[in-house]
Amino acid sequence: MNFTGLNTVEPCLISVANVNELNCPPPGASMGKRTVMNYELDYITWGEGYIVTDGQKIPAKKGSLFFRKPGMVVEGISPYHCYYVVFKMHRDDAGMKNGQRIEFPAVMNIDSHNYIEDLFFQLYNEYICQRDIGEFIIRTYLMQILLYMYRQWMSKSRFEMLGRSLRQNHNKILSVKEYIDRNVHQNFNLDELAEMSGLSRYFFCRTFKKILGESPINYVNRCKVNKAKRLLVETEKSIKEIQYECGFENESHFFKLFKRYVFVSPAVFRQQNTAWKT
């Protein structure tokens, strides 16, 4: 699969929608059969339905990211929750004419659920806020999503080229990662995570980073901070409550870690991202 066309990309957002428990059609309902006119991303946050894509029935399950290009015929069958993004790959007709058609798999199973869901959440929130530099921020989030898709696809393609030891332990590491994703509120330590994988602490840390691209501790911290970001925006819980819900017992450590990843304090982040509610 040729990705050189990404060098010409300058995405321009058309719309973003969030299908959730409040607006999801009843089970078995069709969301309409249609021919795709622009590029689309459909990230599934929960699902028991499916999406028919060019005649192929594909389950819509959590972590699935559907990529659509003009001309594809699709029909979603509920129930599933998602972030639905419509965009152009190039800002103007000249770019579309000169740029290569962008190719990605019709559906990808995302490894880092928290990371990619947070990007879609931020994209959706920015679309609603409509701030002065919103267009720039939205374009940046779209580029980050496309970059992640490229990196994951390349990672999957290179899997068979991994050393024998990494291939043998790949599922063990992913199992630990998924456990972390499901239990972000817990306190983790390396010895427990290593024991869960059945590997020594040293070999677990080394293998985790080689497969997922970051250390176990960094992954855990980023997941906790991403959960805190969502709770700050989506709920009215106090910062103290959110701190404990994300597994931080020490307030100073929580604030320090949050600023390291987000560059502002939790209070400032909440203020910046909930102005549209007032």
Q: Where are the domains of the chain?
A: 4-157, 159-213, 219-277
What mean pLDDT do residues 17-31 have? 95
* Euclidean distance between CA atoms 82 and 105, whole angstroms: 18
Confidence of residue 3 (pLDDT cuts 50, 70, 90): low
pLDDT of residue 277: 54
Position 153, amino acid:
W
Q: Which CATH superfamily does the domain covering 4-157 fall into?
A: Regulatory protein AraC (2.60.120.280)
Q: Where are the extended beta strands (E) located within 139-195?
A: none
Question: pLDDT tens digit string along 136-165?
Answer: 999 999 999 999 998 888 777 666 556 677
Burial zone of 33 (CB within 10 Å; 0-12 exposed, 13-18 middle, 19+ buried): exposed
What mean pLDDT do residues 201-208 have? 93
- Are 92 and 12 in contact by the 8 Å Cβ rule? The answer is no
Helix, coil or strand: residue 189:
coil
Q: Is the pLDDT of residue 4 over 90?
A: no
pLDDT of residue 95: 47
Element containing residue 31 per DSSP (H, E): strand 30-35
Identical fold for domains 4-157 and 219-277, yes or no, is no
Structure tokens at 62: 């959590």
* Euclidean distance between CA atoms 171 and 20, whole angstroms: 30
Strands 80-88 and 73-77: unpaired
Which carries the bigger pLDDT value, residue 12 or residue 170? Answer: 12
Position 152, amino acid:
Q
- Are 80 and 49 in contact by the 8 Å Cβ rule? The answer is yes
Question: pLDDT tens digit string along 50-90?
Answer: 999 999 999 999 999 999 999 999 999 999 999 999 999 98
| Residue 219 φ/ψ, nearest 5 degrees | -65, -45
- Domain spanning 219-277: CATH 2.20.25.90: no
* Euclidean distance between CA atoms 62 and 57, whole angstroms: 16
